[in-house]
């Protein structure tokens, strides 16, 4: 069975700096990491490998600049078998539709597969749209917010899905796409053996030519949405700021405020 896990390299978002003149992120100044939520997608694939009776090959797939190879190496160090990087200047600036389209095109070019696994969302864009959009484009079934894998065989997977109201138990025929949440379980750490394997494994690169897609279909030119403005929010309530050295006084203010609003 072939499983594809989608991983993304993201800036360590706590430290992002914005160029106020252009409204773009100063990427070069920011440390890049594997999207933390993608670790749970990798963990899910490894759990499936343990519970499935038969051979499983896990391929981590990413799209990004050449440097994004790092996240694929990290995925291999955790236990994935191989890595593929979609990398070409033409892929840059893709919105979620163009990203999904590019990945969908790759997946059509690859071997038969059973499952595509994604994290819940990336911590930079925070859309969570690529998994379902990919499923829509490939006409595959999708289960989002997967919290637990109960059973898998060659025909189907049974899993739990978390909604606002509770837990659904869902059976999905394969092939299909799932996105997983943190509830799936703490991601395992890379092993020494894995790290050695990662060092010795060559990540496959697919560029525009190898992917055989038209330049207009990918990246910024293939995107349906456009960012027209980036700005710092100017939110302001005419509130009073009270500097107080006396915590008692602060507490009294809070209590009065709550009383005025009928809370206490």
Sites for other proteins among residues 171-230 (CB under 8 A): 171-173, 176, 182, 223-230
Q: Decide: is 247 part of the binding site for other proteins (CB under 8 A).
A: yes
CB of 67 to other proteins, least distance (A): 18
Q: Decide: is 54 part of the binding site for other proteins (CB under 8 A).
A: no
- CB of 11 or CB of 64, closer to other proteins: 11
Q: Decide: is 141 part of the binding site for other proteins (CB under 8 A).
A: yes
Q: Is 22 exposed, middle or buried (0-12, 13-18, 19+ CB in 10 A)?
A: exposed
CB of 79 to other proteins, least distance (A): 23
Q: Which residues contact 211 (CB under 8 A, 6 or more apart)?
A: 86, 88, 102, 105, 106, 109
Spatial strand order of the sheet with 142-152 comes to 156-162, 142-152, 176-180, 115-118, 2-6, 57-63, 82-86, 204-206
x/- track of binding to other proteins for residues 109-128 (CB under 8 A): ------------x-xxxxxx
CB of 142 to other proteins, least distance (A): 6
Which one among 43, 69, 88, 95 touches other proteins, defined by CB under 8 A? Answer: 95
Single out the segment in contact with other proteins by CB under 8 A; choices: 72-80, 85-93, 110-118, 244-252.
Answer: 244-252
- CB of 200 or CB of 225, closer to other proteins: 225
Q: Decide: is 254 part of the binding site for other proteins (CB under 8 A).
A: yes
Which one among 50, 164, 209, 216 touches other proteins, defined by CB under 8 A? Answer: 164
Q: 61 phi and psi, to 5 degrees?
A: -120, 135
Q: 75 phi and psi, to 5 degrees?
A: -65, -40
CB of 203 to other proteins, least distance (A): 26
Which one among 133, 146, 152, 206 touches other proteins, defined by CB under 8 A? Answer: 133
**Cα within 13 Å of Cα(249), Cβ side:** 5
Single out the segment in contact with other proteins by CB under 8 A; choices: 45-53, 75-83, 94-102, 110-118.
Answer: 94-102
- CB of 143 or CB of 198, closer to other proteins: 143
Query: Which tokens sit at 163?
Result: 């909604």
Per-position DSSP letters for 66-128, written without gaps between them: GGGHHHHHHHHHHT-SEEEEE--GGGTT--HHHHHHHHHHHHHHS---SEEEE-S--TTT---
Q: Decide: is 169 part of the binding site for other proteins (CB under 8 A).
A: yes
| Number of residues engaging other proteins in binding (CB under 8 A) | 85
219 contacts 93 by C-beta, under 8 angstroms = yes
- CB of 23 or CB of 66, closer to other proteins: 23
Q: Decide: is 18 part of the binding site for other proteins (CB under 8 A).
A: yes
Q: Decide: is 155 part of the binding site for other proteins (CB under 8 A).
A: no
Query: Which tokens sit at 249?
Result: 């006084």
84/72 Cα distance (integer angstroms):
7
């Amino acid at each position: 069975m072939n499983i594809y896990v989608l991983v993304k390299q993201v800036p360590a978002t706590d430290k992002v700096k914005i160029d106020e003149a252009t409204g773009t992120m100063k990427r070069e100044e920011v440390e890049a990491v594997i999207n933390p939520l993608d670790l749970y997608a990798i963990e899910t694939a490894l759990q499936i490998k343990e519970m499935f009776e038969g051979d499983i090959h896990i391929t981590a797939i990413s799209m990004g600049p050449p440097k994004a190879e790092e996240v694929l190496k990290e995925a291999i160090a955790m236990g994935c078998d191989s890595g593929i990087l979609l990398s070409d200047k033409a892929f840059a600036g893709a919105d979620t539709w163009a990203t999904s389209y590019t990945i969908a095109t790759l997946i059509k070019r690859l071997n038969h597969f059973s499952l595509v696994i994604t994290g819940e969302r990336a911590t930079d864009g925070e859309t969570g749209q690529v998994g379902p959009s990919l499923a829509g484009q490939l006409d595959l079934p999708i289960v989002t917010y997967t919290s637990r894998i109960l059973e898998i065989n060659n025909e189907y997977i049974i899993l739990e899905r978390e909604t606002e109201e509770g837990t659904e138990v869902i059976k999905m025929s394969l092939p299909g796409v799932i996105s997983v949440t943190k509830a799936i379980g703490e991601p395992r750490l890379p092993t020494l053996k894995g790290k050695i394997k990662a060092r010795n494994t060559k990540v496959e690169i697919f560029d525009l030519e190898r992917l055989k897609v038209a330049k207009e279909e990918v990246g910024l030119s293939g995107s349906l949405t456009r960012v027209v403005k980036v700005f710092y929010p100017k939110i302001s309530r005419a509130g009073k700021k009270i500097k107080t050295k006396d915590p008692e006084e602060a507490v009294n203010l809070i209590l009065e405020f709550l009383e005025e609003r009928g809370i206490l």
